[in-house]
Amino acid sequence: MAEFFRSRISGTGSYLPEKLLTNYDLEKMVETSHDWIVERTGIHSRHIAAKEQSTSDLAYIATHKALEAANLKVKDIDAILFATVSPDQIMPSTACVLQHKLGCGNIMALDISAACSGFVYGFSLADDLIRVGSYKNILVVGAEVLHRYVNYKERDTCILFGDGAGVAILSRSDKDQDSSVYSHRLGADGSVGDLFVLPAGGSKLPFSQRVLDEGLQFVRMKGREIFKHAVRSMTEMSESVLQENKMSVKDVDWLIPHQANIRILESVAKHFEFPLEKVIINIAKVGNTSAATIPVALDEGIRDGRIKRGQNVMLTAFGAGLTMGSALFKY
């Protein structure tokens, strides 16, 4: 009979660029106000990458923090899964760029395009790869430089997005280690993919003068419709994972949802009757960083001492596609 292994989080790291874009800054750029933004989203500020910083640069800094936390060296990493919708370029993949910057050697490096669910997708795939014995230490990255895809004349989208990077290293658990991943569930519903799109830049609509004239290089979203799908998809994925493990919300010490909108977070917690004080929320100071929101919040919760070894943590996300997923693990 084949031997199966368990995976655990051996280290996390995150990086947020130094520059802040506050709501008061946005008041000078578009017709909006600090109070209106806070009421609708819960966001006060968001981090913005410097002109010379790319997505791989943010991930590089976060990765070294995770390696230090895990007491691992670069050469210990044997695979990279990089979740992003704002890659350095279409090709080569940003995972390959990061592999070269780190000096990892000839290891697997793969980009994952699942928008805001990207980190949960990467986390789940890494766990499966470790379970079957293919790899021992997998670097899972969620990183974005989203502000370059935002139209700062469109107030409904420009108020939401910021830049950042978060990483987690999943490692094979030793037999005497209690930390492990219980299970995960991923899904997608392409029938509502038009709710959140970046029209230009692919084979369907390459860059052209028309693209620039019509602003098709910027993200477009239908916020009200997204809200409904977001709450339903995150709760359904989470309920499925809990049922699979014969657990309830009472067994979960911390919930880390995708940080899209404070009202979405509150609605998910209310559905589960989950106390807000046990939900990791940092949207006020970070905004929506897509694939980076969950790993940044996870790293923050670990480093400030809220999340402790032996506690049960649930991740849940939704994103453009629509993609969705949840993962449950003992840290």
Determine which helix (DSSP H) or strand (DSSP E) holds 12, and give its type and residue range: strand 7-15
Cβ distance 287 to 45 under 8 Å? Answer: yes
**Is pLDDT at 1 greater than 60 in this prediction?**
no
Mean pLDDT of 141-150: 97
**SS3 assignment, position 48:** strand
Confidence at residue 3, expressed as pLDDT on a 0 to 100 scale: 64
Confidence at residue 210, expressed as pLDDT on a 0 to 100 scale: 94
Look at the chain and count its residues: 331
| Residues catalogued as catalytic | 116, 258, 288
Distances (CA, A) of 218 to 49, 82, 85, 133, 161: 17, 22, 12, 41, 12
Map out the domains of the chain with their CATH numbers. 7-172 (3.40.47.10), 180-330 (3.40.47.10)
What is the arrangement of strands in the sheet containing 312-319, beginning at the earlier edge strand?
Answer: 180-188, 323-330, 312-319, 254-257
Confidence at residue 72, expressed as pLDDT on a 0 to 100 scale: 98
Pick the range with the lowest mean pLDDT from 188-192, 220-224, 242-246: 220-224
Give the C-alpha separation, 110 to 89, whole Å: 14
Angle between helices 262-272 and 34-41 (to 10 degrees): 30
Sequence letter at residue 304: D
Determine which helix (DSSP H) or strand (DSSP E) holds 181, and give its type and residue range: strand 180-188
Cβ distance 47 to 162 under 8 Å? Answer: yes
Sequence-distant (≥ 6) Cβ neighbours of residue 89 within 8 angstroms? none
Backbone angles phi, psi at 28, to 5 degrees: -85, -10
Higher-pLDDT residue of 1 and 252 is: 252
**Is pLDDT at 8 greater than 70 in this prediction?**
yes
Q: DSSP of 55-124, one letter per residue?
A: HHHHHHHHHHHHHHHHT--GGG--EEEEE-SS-SSSSS-HHHHHHHHHT--S-EEEEE--GGGHHHHHHH
**Is pLDDT at 187 greater than 70 in this prediction?**
yes
- 174 is written with which tokens? 């030793």
Q: DSSP of 136-172, one letter per residue?
A: SEEEEEEEEEGGGG--TT-HHHHTTB-EEEEEEEEEE
Cβ distance 204 to 289 under 8 Å? Answer: no
Give the C-alpha separation, 201 to 297, whole Å: 30
Confidence at residue 275, expressed as pLDDT on a 0 to 100 scale: 92
| Predicted TM-score (pTM) of this structure | 0.96
The burial class, CB within 10 Å (0-12 / 13-18 / 19+), for 149 is middle
Confidence at residue 175, expressed as pLDDT on a 0 to 100 scale: 82
pLDDT tens by residue, 277-293: 999 999 999 999 999 99
What's the distance, Cα to Cα, between the start and end of the chain in Å? 28
Measure the CA angle with vertex 165, ends 164 and 171; round to 5°.
Answer: 165
Confidence at residue 227, expressed as pLDDT on a 0 to 100 scale: 87
pLDDT tens by residue, 35-51: 999 999 999 999 999 99
Distances (CA, A) of 61 to 65, 101, 247: 7, 11, 36
Give residue 295's pLDDT band: very low, low, confident or very high (50, 70, 90): very high
- 89 is written with which tokens? 């370029």
Give the C-alpha separation, 151 to 239, whole Å: 36
Question: What residues are paired with 257 via a beta bridge?
Answer: 316
